[in-house]
């Protein structure tokens, strides 16, 4: 069933009435306008949500197929230029201030009129007002809004650039630059979450890159707070998501949460890292897998956790997914501080070797000291006993021989010292030389 503009408004007015008022209105139309009576009768006592969904779908298709406003059309104090984009929520025009007070280039988004009965003009303005409170360099600023010729419009910052998808496809970008860009996008989404705003439709086409390479996030999902979010398996409801980046719970028509954006950001990270045919490293693959878990409870709790893990990968620090693996943490430390860690290792090893040498030297000195004391004691005993044996005096050669035997039998004397002492004892004694003469 297709609805024209007048017929759509008639059905909206009818469905806004209570059951008693509908009955009274039908009674009047049966007499005054049988054609309208026949048109509205099928909607009496029917489920309004599928009906509104069908009306919105028909109206949105008509809105997309047509051009709501011609160039140079004036909306209040703004003059529209050429169309620069369109999507499921509306059409975006380049625009300028037209009140002779300021010269300002802007972008104006005209919302589909078919959304008004489902969301409500007040809800649209409330969502737009919440967007206007966001102040982040990576979020396109919302300045104003209003109604002109029955059309709700939102005045936004004009971004002179291209979409993220086009940027990646046409301009070579380093791996580090892509991760830095992703971190800035996460920071913007985190800012929106702090202000109770869920984006609900994060994808490359909703991220603009300006001439300075700065990301600008646009097209927040204004239907995110509908109580009756549609199921993708039915034709009912407002299908305001992108198939590739939507989380499982979003496809099931459940209420959007921060984990919905976490999932989309995980998919966006995968797009950034695989757009050139390469595969992400093990750490980033784990981060993507964590962010895109099927169950929302298994994902990162906040965008901040996701952003921190990506920053840790960039800085070669351990990620939260593997924080209990001490070998992995050690590898991260080696990669992060190779030169200081190498120098520290050399210093520790050198100190250990020096300590071993010092201990060994001390033991050697102690043994030599003990051997010297034993030799002195031995010589003292020889001289003492030599004096007591006057009847049979001990010759010098005998004393040297006994000393040599004592030295060779002493375990505390090193081989070098033994050799030197034996050589010294083999030198002829002066008294011996005289006797021989």
Annotated binding site: 109
Q: Respond yes or no: is residue 261 known to be catalytic.
A: no
Residues 6+ apart with CB under 8 A from 117: 12, 15, 16, 52, 55, 56
pLDDT at 300 over 90: yes
The sheet that has 161-163: what strands, in order across it? 161-163, 207-210, 215-217
CB 263 within 8 A of CB 247: yes
Annotated binding site for ATP: 109
Share of the chain above pLDDT 70, in %: 70
Domain that holds residue 383: 355-436
Residue 139 DSSP code: B
Look up the CATH number of the domain holding residue 314. Answer: 1.10.510.10
Could you read off the pLDDT of 318-340 as tens digits, one per residue?
989 887 787 888 787 777 777 87
Residues 6+ apart with CB under 8 A from 321: 286, 287, 290, 309
In a domain, 56, yes or no: no
In 3-state terms the chain splits into helix, strand, coil percentages (rounded to 5) of 55, 10, 30
Pairing of strands 161-163, 90-97: unpaired
* 200 & 289 share domain: yes
Does the pTM surpass 0.85? The reply is no
Look up the CATH number of the domain holding residue 114. Answer: 3.30.200.20
pLDDT at 87 over 50: yes
- Which run of H or of E encompasses 156? strand 151-157
Residues 6+ apart with CB under 8 A from 108: 75, 78, 80, 92, 93, 95, 153, 154, 155, 156
Residue in 100, 57, 63, 58 with CA at minimum distance from that of residue 83: 63
Could you read off the pLDDT of 366-406 as tens digits, one per residue?
877 777 777 777 667 666 665 555 555 656 666 667 777 77
* 197 & 285 share domain: yes
Q: Domain total for the chain?
A: 3
Residue in 87, 90, 76 with CA at minimum distance from that of residue 128: 90
* 101 & 238 share domain: no
Q: How far apart are CA 402 and CA 396, in angstroms?
A: 10
Active-site option among 58, 98, 201, 276: 201
């Amino acid at each position: 069933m297709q609805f024209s503009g007048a017929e759509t408004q008639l059905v909206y007015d009818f469905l806004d009435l209570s059951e008693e008022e509908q009955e009274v209105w039908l009674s009047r139309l049966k007499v005054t306008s049988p054609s309208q009576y026949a048109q509205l009768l099928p909607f009496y006592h029917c489920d309004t949500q599928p009906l509104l969904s069908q009306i919105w779908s028909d109206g949105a298709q008509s809105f997309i197929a047509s051009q709501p406003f011609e160039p140079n059309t004036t909306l209040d104090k703004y003059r529209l230029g050429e169309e620069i984009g369109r999507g499921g929520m509306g059409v975006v025009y380049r625009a300028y201030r037209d009140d002779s007070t300021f010269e300002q280039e802007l972008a104006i988004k005209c919302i589909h009129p078919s959304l008004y009965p489902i969301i409500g003009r007040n809800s649209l303005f409330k969502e737009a007002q919440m967007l206007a409170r966001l102040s982040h360099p990576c979020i396109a600023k919302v300045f104003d809004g209003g109604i002109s010729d029955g059309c709700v419009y939102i005045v936004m910052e004009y971004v002179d650039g291209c979409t993220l998808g086009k940027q990646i496809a046409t301009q070579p970008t380093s791996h580090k630059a892509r991760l830095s860009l992703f971190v800035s996008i996460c920071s913007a989404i985190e800012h929106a979450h702090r202000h109770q705003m869920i984006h609900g439709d994060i994808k490359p086409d909703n991220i603009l890159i300006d001439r300075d390479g700065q990301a600008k996030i646009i097209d927040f999902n204004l239907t995110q707070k509908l109580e009756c979010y549609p199921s993708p398996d039915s034709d009912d409801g407002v299908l305001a998501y992108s198939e590739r980046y939507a989380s499982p719970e979003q496809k099931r028509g459940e209420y959007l949460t921060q984990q919905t954006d976490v999932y989309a950001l995980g998919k966006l990270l995968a797009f950034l890292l695989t757009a050139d045919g390469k595969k992400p490293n093990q750490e980033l693959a784990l981060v993507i897998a964590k962010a895109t878990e099927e169950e929302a409870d298994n994902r990162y709790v906040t965008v901040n956790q996701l952003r921190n893990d990506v920053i840790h990968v960039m800085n070669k620090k351990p990620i939260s997914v593997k924080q209990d693996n001490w070998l992995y943490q050690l590898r991260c430390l080696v990669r992060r501080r190779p030169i200081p860690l190498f120098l520290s290792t050399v210093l520790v090893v050198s100190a250990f070797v020096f300590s071993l040498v010092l201990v060994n030297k001390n033991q050697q000195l102690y043994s030599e000291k003990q051997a010297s004391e034993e030799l002195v004691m031995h010589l003292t005993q020889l001289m003492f006993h030599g004096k007591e044996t006057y009847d049979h005096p001990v010759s010098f050669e005998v004393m040297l021989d006994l000393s040599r035997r004592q030295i060779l039998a002493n375990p505390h004397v090193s081989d070098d010292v033994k050799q030197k002492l034996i050589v010294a004892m083999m030198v002829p004694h002066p008294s011996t030389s005289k006797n021989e003469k």
